[in-house]
């Protein structure tokens, strides 16, 4: 008996066409980390609860641990590695998290950065309540959320001041 059948899975990741062969049941989180070597996407609960594995698919946050890689075929995926500009300059959301101490151990941070990037694109001036609602799917065990909320408001300021996109 041969092993499980594999399929050629191709998608655009951080603006680059990427492909690899993987079984039909390969999760997008594992595909990104193990098949494409993009280990910035973190896996916490693997059950869709913690939000650590959040990436953007066609600009919308998705839990990559609940998504089969094959279903991302042909889509545009953005991981935390794709948020900074090509010359390495951090995005406004990344700068704000750094400035406002929105991270401690950093394990949850890639998921927060992707979630907040989409949140501020859709709502450039969220209220506290809207921020809390927007990040409610992401769990952090370290920061108590206050600095994360501050980071989101700071990122909104940076984006408004500079006219940058999130």
Using CA atoms, how far residue 165 sits from 112, 117, 125, 145, 150, in Å, is 17, 9, 13, 24, 19
The smaller minimum CB distance to ligand FES, of residues 26 and 63, is found at 63
Q: Does 152 bind ligand FES (CB under 6 A)?
A: no
The smaller minimum CB distance to ligand FES, of residues 23 and 137, is found at 137
The Cα 104–Cα 82 span in angstroms is 21
Q: Does 108 bind ligand FES (CB under 6 A)?
A: yes
What's the min distance (Å) between Cβ of 63 and ligand FES? 5
Of 116, 98, 133, give the one whose Cα is nearest residue 54. Answer: 116
Using CA atoms, how far residue 132 sits from 98, 121, 153, in Å, is 19, 16, 11
Binding to ligand FES, residues 18-57 (CB under 6 A) = 43-46, 48-53
Contact residues toward ligand FES (CB under 6 A) are 43-46, 48-53, 63, 65, 103-108, 140-143
């Amino acid at each position: 008996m041969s092993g499980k059948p594999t399929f050629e899975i191709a998608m655009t990741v951080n603006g680059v066409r990427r492909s690899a062969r993987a079984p039909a049941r390969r999760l997008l989180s594992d595909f990104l980390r193990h098949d494409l070597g993009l280990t910035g996407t973190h896996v916490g609960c693997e059950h869709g609860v913690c939000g650590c594995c959040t990436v953007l698919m066609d600009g919308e946050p998705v839990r990559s641990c609940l998504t089969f890689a094959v279903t991302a075929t042909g889509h545009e995926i953005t991981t935390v590695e794709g948020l900074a500009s090509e010359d390495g300059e951090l995005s406004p959301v990344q700068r704000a998290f750094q400035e406002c101490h929105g991270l401690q151990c950093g394990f949850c941070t890639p998921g927060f950065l992707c979630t907040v990037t989409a949140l501020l694109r859709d709502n450039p001036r969220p209220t506290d309540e809207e921020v809390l609602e927007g990040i409610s799917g992401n769990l952090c065990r370290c920061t108590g959320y206050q600095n994360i909320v501050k980071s989101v408001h700071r990122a909104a300021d940076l984006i408004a001041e500079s006219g940058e996109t999130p």
